[in-house]
Chains A and B, each alone.
Chain A
Amino acid sequence: MKYALLAYSRGEESGESGPRSMHPGIAAVLERPNVTGYLRLEPPQSAGTVRSKNGTTLTTDGPFVESKEFLGGFILVEAESLDQALAVAAELQDLDLTAAIEVRPAFE
């Protein structure tokens, strides 16, 4: 099955001066054969958001959600079961770089 690991960063690390280089622990996981893809995201301040309002679309700056945690990136993993995908997430979470990692199965 395919799973997406949604890595949430802690709010206080959201500054533009955040580290640009990848942590070696994460890099090691991303090189595994069961990892089929990943994206690292710029912080939420860099976002533009499109919403529907009264039948038209409205573009605004930034996300509307005031959240201490934000989506920092995601990793696509091929695994036999939720437990296998959770194990990869636990390994990343143990690096203490993320606030939480949500593991979601993908439509096949």
Chain B
Amino acid sequence: MLDDVFRDQWGRVLATLVGILGDIELAEDAAQEAFTLAAERWPRDGEPDNPTAWLIATARNRAIDRIRRDRTLARKTEQLGRELRDLPEETMDETAALPDERLELIFTCCHPALAPEAQVALTLRTLGGLSTEEVAAAFLVPFETMSKRLGRAKRKVREAGIPFAVPPAHLLPERLDAVLAVLYLVFNQGWGAGRVDLAAEAIRLGRVLAALMPDEPEALALLALMLINDSRREARHRGGALVLLDEQDRSAWDREQIAEGRGLVERATALGGTGPYVLQAAIAELHVTEPRDWRQIELLYRQLGRLTGSPVVEMNRAVAIAELEGPDAALAILDGLELDGYRYLHSTRADMLRRLGRDEEARSAYGRALELTDEGPERRFLLMRRAELPPPANR
């Protein structure tokens, strides 16, 4: 819908408008009009000196016009009139000095009173500048469904009085967790298939967050984690099948992204960060460093496991244990985990059993993993691995 220049402006412009108008829907309509106007005029008249200021001023004027026209919103006009009197008669310079309020908007969109799927959709629409069609396509739901979901979310923000503000210090950790979870969810969704490039979108939003909270280790670490994982994107598949990290073509890794991620991990650690994203980013960084320091990786997984209590983390620790102490020790950990419905448990078990030469058990573990895996690169990988096992012995 919008090209890249516009996409970069959208969140910034919209956030300021929400700040002025106090309503996401109103702000969105006004921003849409301003961007449409810009698409008409800029190619003809040239881009204004300060595009952001132009877009905000134009959208604001449109919104005021609209409110004046709309008699049903008479009360709002009165209220808005009061607020707008406080603002100077709009010149570009004064609009340009308006603060960046994207952080406020992120916290509004990721408010825990909104359902998680509404948080994600709203964040992508308002800050990412994705169209409703694009958000719908990204989550494989019909346009109508997404349109309703977004509408409901915006109404709830207004009707419930969800604040447009960065939470106070005592609420910040909990609320920041919600924001980080939304971005990471968007990122991981992006790894699934090549619909809308959600991984790139999550990184873009992660950059915004890291720039707005430069002293927040978890925000820096999330960006690092996404950059490092994404750097291996090209190398993750070959001939339609998944390629494990050890077998990936390292020349296909994005070195620049890894370096940027590494710098961010260092900064997050220097700031004293020990949260879950700092630990995950540090682990991701160790995984792309040769030779791999399995001792350190195991230690970090142990720390992460204590923090999260997650059996998935423990499963990953078992993989490190396999490198340090052998597949037997790893298997002992894996068999104690209650993760029967988790496909990676079974593919990891299968790999350990294969390495121990317990072919029949490996075969049935691959079978269990396959039952839980949909068509795609991962499934093709598992089928290949199972086919590589020696044929069953004659009974």
Q: Does A34 contact B (CB under 8 A)?
A: no
Q: A81 contacts B113, CB within 8 Å?
A: no
A5-23, CB under 8 A of B: which get 1 and which 0? Answer: 0000000000000000000
Q: Which residues of B from 143 to 187 have beta carbons under 8 Å from A? A: 159-163, 165, 167, 171
Residues of A in contact with B (beta carbons under 8 Å apart): 1, 3, 79-83, 85-86, 105
How many A-B residue pairs lie within 8 Å, measured between CB atoms? 25
Q: A105 contacts B160, CB within 8 Å?
A: yes
- Residue in B closest to A90 when the chains form the complex, CB atoms: B171
Task: From the candidates A3, A81, A105, name the one contacting B163 in the complex (CB within 8 A).
Answer: A81
The bracket for how many chain B residues form the interface is 10 to 19
Q: B167 contacts A83, CB within 8 Å?
A: yes
Could you tell me the distance between the alpha carbons of A81 and B166 in the complex, rounded to whole angstroms? 13
Could you tell me the distance between the alpha carbons of A105 and B158 in the complex, rounded to whole angstroms? 10
Give A90 Cβ to nearest chain B Cβ, in Å. Answer: 9
Contacts of B111 in A (CB 8 A): 82
Contacts of B161 in A (CB 8 A): 1, 3, 79-82, 85, 105
Give A84 Cβ to nearest chain B Cβ, in Å. Answer: 8
Give A79 Cβ to nearest chain B Cβ, in Å. Answer: 7
Q: A105 contacts B159, CB within 8 Å?
A: yes
Q: A83 contacts B159, CB within 8 Å?
A: no
Q: B160 contacts A83, CB within 8 Å?
A: no
Main secondary structure of the interface of A (DSSP, over half): mixed
Subset of 19 A-B contacts with CB under 8 Å = A1-B161, A3-B161, A79-B161, A80-B161, A80-B163, A81-B161, A81-B163, A81-B165, A82-B111, A82-B113, A82-B160, A82-B162, A82-B163, A83-B162, A83-B165, A85-B161, A86-B113, A105-B159, A105-B161
Contacts of B165 in A (CB 8 A): 81, 83
Could you tell me the distance between the alpha carbons of A85 and B113 in the complex, rounded to whole angstroms? 12
Could you tell me the distance between the alpha carbons of A85 and B161 in the complex, rounded to whole angstroms? 10
Contacts of B160 in A (CB 8 A): 82, 105
Main secondary structure of the interface of B (DSSP, over half): loop
Could you tell me the distance between the alpha carbons of A3 and B113 in the complex, rounded to whole angstroms? 14
Give B174 Cβ to nearest chain A Cβ, in Å. Answer: 11
Could you tell me the distance between the alpha carbons of A83 and B159 in the complex, rounded to whole angstroms? 13
- Residue in A closest to B158 when the chains form the complex, CB atoms: A105
Could you tell me the distance between the alpha carbons of A79 and B161 in the complex, rounded to whole angstroms? 9
Could you tell me the distance between the alpha carbons of A82 and B167 in the complex, rounded to whole angstroms? 12
* Most central of A3, A81, A82 by chain B CB within 10 Å: A82
Contacts of A105 in B (CB 8 A): 159-161
Contacts of A1 in B (CB 8 A): 161
- Residue in B closest to A86 when the chains form the complex, CB atoms: B113
Contacts of B167 in A (CB 8 A): 83
- Residue in A closest to B163 when the chains form the complex, CB atoms: A81
Q: Which residues of B from 248 to 289 have beta carbons under 8 Å from A? A: none
Could you tell me the distance between the alpha carbons of A86 and B171 in the complex, rounded to whole angstroms? 11
- Residue in A closest to B113 when the chains form the complex, CB atoms: A82
Could you tell me the distance between the alpha carbons of A1 and B163 in the complex, rounded to whole angstroms? 12
Q: Which 6 A-B pairs have the closest CB atoms?
A: A81-B163, A1-B161, A82-B161, A81-B161, A105-B160, A82-B160
Could you tell me the distance between the alpha carbons of A7 and B171 in the complex, rounded to whole angstroms? 22
Give B78 Cβ to nearest chain A Cβ, in Å. Answer: 14
Given A81-B161, A82-B111, A82-B162, 14 new contacts (CB under 8 A): A1-B161, A3-B161, A80-B161, A80-B163, A81-B162, A81-B163, A81-B165, A82-B113, A82-B160, A82-B161, A83-B163, A83-B165, A85-B161, A105-B159
* Most central of B161, B165, B171 by chain A CB within 10 Å: B161
Give A57 Cβ to nearest chain B Cβ, in Å. Answer: 31
Give B72 Cβ to nearest chain A Cβ, in Å. Answer: 15
Could you tell me the distance between the alpha carbons of A42 and B342 in the complex, rounded to whole angstroms? 47
Contacts of A81 in B (CB 8 A): 161-163, 165
Contacts of A82 in B (CB 8 A): 111, 113, 160-163
Give B112 Cβ to nearest chain A Cβ, in Å. Answer: 9
Could you tell me the distance between the alpha carbons of A49 and B191 in the complex, rounded to whole angstroms? 53
* Most central of A1, A83, A85, A86 by chain B CB within 10 Å: A83
Could you tell me the distance between the alpha carbons of A105 and B161 in the complex, rounded to whole angstroms? 8
Could you tell me the distance between the alpha carbons of A85 and B160 in the complex, rounded to whole angstroms? 10
Give B24 Cβ to nearest chain A Cβ, in Å. Answer: 14
Could you tell me the distance between the alpha carbons of A86 and B174 in the complex, rounded to whole angstroms? 14
Contacts of B171 in A (CB 8 A): 83
Could you tell me the distance between the alpha carbons of A82 and B161 in the complex, rounded to whole angstroms? 5
Give A76 Cβ to nearest chain B Cβ, in Å. Answer: 14
Could you tell me the distance between the alpha carbons of A105 and B162 in the complex, rounded to whole angstroms? 10
* Most central of B159, B160, B162, B167 by chain A CB within 10 Å: B160
